[in-house]
Structure 1
Amino acid sequence: MNMGRGTGTGLGSSGKDDDTPFDGSGLKLKTIKTRRELNEVEFASILHVTEKYLLSKPSRKIAPFNFDWLLGLHREMLGSIWSWAGEIRSTEKNIGVNPNIIAAELGVIAMEADKRHNETGALVIATAAEFHHRAVWVHPFEDGNGRWARLMANVWLMQHDQPATLWPANDLRNTESPIRDEYIAAIKAADSLNYGPLIDLHQRFSE
C-alpha cells in the first residue's frame, strides 16, 4: 500500500496544560471548560466502548470491519461528546490524507479485512499493526484518530484470538516519555512499509 504522505500519531499533549481552555467547536457538553475535564469525559466514554469490544471475543456481527463500522466505532467512542464524531473531516490538516480520498482509503482497510479473516497467529498481529498504522496515516476524523486506530487494532486482535495491546496511555501523552518517542518512530517507520517496530510494540504491550 502506498504511503506517500507524512503521518500523524494521534497523540495528545503531556497534560501540562490540562487546566487551560481548548477549542470547543462541536462540543456537545457545554459544561466542560478545561482540557482536564475533557480528558475525563472522553476517557469514561472510550472505556465503556472498550469494555463492549474487549471484555470477550467480539463477533463479526458486532465488529464486521466494514466501512460503516469503522466510522461507527469512532462515533461510539466520542459521539456523546463531539458532534463531528464518526464523520469524515472536510478540512485539510498538516497530517493525514486529503479529505477527498479518506473514504476510499478507509475502504482499503475494509477490503483488506474481508480478505484476512482467516489469518492466525503472528499474521494477525502483523495485520493489526498494518491496520493501526493505516488508520493513523489516513487521519479521517477531526480528533481522536490515534485512540480510534489503537482500539480498532485491538478489536481485530481479539476477534482473531490474540491478546489485546495494553497501550500505556500516560506514556503516549507524555512528550518526555521514551515510550512515546518509540511509538512515534514506529509509526514513521511504517510510513515506509517497515511494520517491524510497530509489531514489536504491539507484542511488548500485549496482555
Structure 2
Amino acid sequence: MGVVNAGRDKRMRLGSSGKDDATPFDGSGLKMKSIKTRHELNEVEFSSILRVTEKYLLTKPSRKIAPFNFDWLLGLHREMLGSIWSWAGEIRATEKNIGVSPKVIAAELGVIAMEADKRHDETGALVIATAAEFHHRAVWVHPFEDGNGRWARLLANIWLMQHDQPATLWPATDLRNAASPIRDEYIAAIKQADVRNYGPLIDLHHRFSE
C-alpha cells in the first residue's frame, strides 16, 4: 500500500532535523511524561498514526471495522492518539478559534454518521466527492483538542478505500507545517468548502490519489 510506504519515507525525511526540534509544547493531558520537545512528540504521534493507517489502509477496510457511525468516528481518533493523550477520542469542552461550539459537536458528528449510512452504495466520482465532503465537515466541526486535520484526512481515506477508490497521498506528513508544498492551497480549498464549494478540495483528492 503506497500511502503507508510513503508515510514511512516522509518520516525519514521530516524527522531528521529542523529548527523546531527542541520547541516545548503544552503537555496538558500527555500520558508519556518522558516527551519533552515538539520533535519527540511528533515522532511518537507519527508512529501511532502510522500503525492505525496500516490497520485501515493496507487492505480494503470492511464496514465491520469501519462502520462510520458516531462511536467509530470518536474511536478512530482514540486509536490514533489514545496512547499519547488522555483526551484522545473525547469531544472537546472548550471553545476554539476554529470549529463549532462544543454544545453541537455531537450533533454535527451525527450528521456525518447519518450521511455515511445513506451513501454506502455510491461509486466512482461520487465516492471522491463524498470523501471530500466528509473530510471538510470533520475539519469544520473540529471536535477534538488536537489532531483534527490528521483524523479528518484519515477518515476520508478510509471512506475512499472502503468504496474501491484510491487513497489520497497528501504531499506532507502534517499540513499544518508551513513547509508543506500545498499548505496554502489546502487551506484555501477548505475555506471554499466552508461556502459549499467542494470543487477545489475534490480536485486535490484527485490530484494526489494513488
Equivalent position amino acid for 1:184 in 2: I
Moved over 3 A (4+): none
Assess, with a 3 A threshold, how the Cα gap between structure 1 residues 171 and 111 changes in structure 2: closer, same or farther: closer
Which of 155, 166, 176 aligns to 1:152? It is 155
Assess, with a 3 A threshold, how the Cα gap between structure 1 residues 171 and 149 changes in structure 2: closer, same or farther: closer
The Cα of 1:175 is off from its aligned counterpart by 1.6
Which of 13, 19, 23 aligns to 2:22? It is 19
Distance 2:118 2:177 in 1: 37
**1:174 lines up with 2:177 in the alignment:** yes
| Contact 2:29/2:86, CA 8 A, preserved across alignment | yes
TM-score (norm 1): 0.91
User: For residue 96 of structure 2, what is the aligned residue in structure 1?
Assistant: 93
Equivalent position amino acid for 1:182 in 2: E
Greater shift, 110-119 or 171-180, is seen at 171-180
The Cα of 1:170 is off from its aligned counterpart by 4.5
User: For residue 42 of structure 1, what is the aligned residue in structure 2?
Assistant: 45
Distance 1:170 1:66 in 2: 26
User: For residue 61 of structure 2, what is the aligned residue in structure 1?
Assistant: 58
Distance 1:91 1:206 in 2: 35
The Cα of 1:178 is off from its aligned counterpart by 4.5
**1:196 lines up with 2:199 in the alignment:** yes
**1:143 lines up with 2:179 in the alignment:** no
The Cα of 1:16 is off from its aligned counterpart by 4.0
The Cα of 1:143 is off from its aligned counterpart by 0.1
User: For residue 81 of structure 1, what is the aligned residue in structure 2?
Assistant: 84
- Stretches of structure 1 lacking an aligned partner (at least 5 in a row): 1-14
TM-score (norm 2): 0.89
What is the aligned residue count? 193
| Contact 1:171/1:179, CA 8 A, preserved across alignment | no
The Cα of 1:94 is off from its aligned counterpart by 0.6
The Cα of 1:172 is off from its aligned counterpart by 2.2
Greater shift, 176-185 or 72-81, is seen at 176-185
User: For residue 127 of structure 1, what is the aligned residue in structure 2?
Assistant: 130
Assess, with a 3 A threshold, how the Cα gap between structure 1 residues 177 and 28 changes in structure 2: closer, same or farther: closer
| Contact 2:172/2:180, CA 8 A, preserved across alignment | no
- Stretches of structure 2 lacking an aligned partner (at least 5 in a row): 1-17
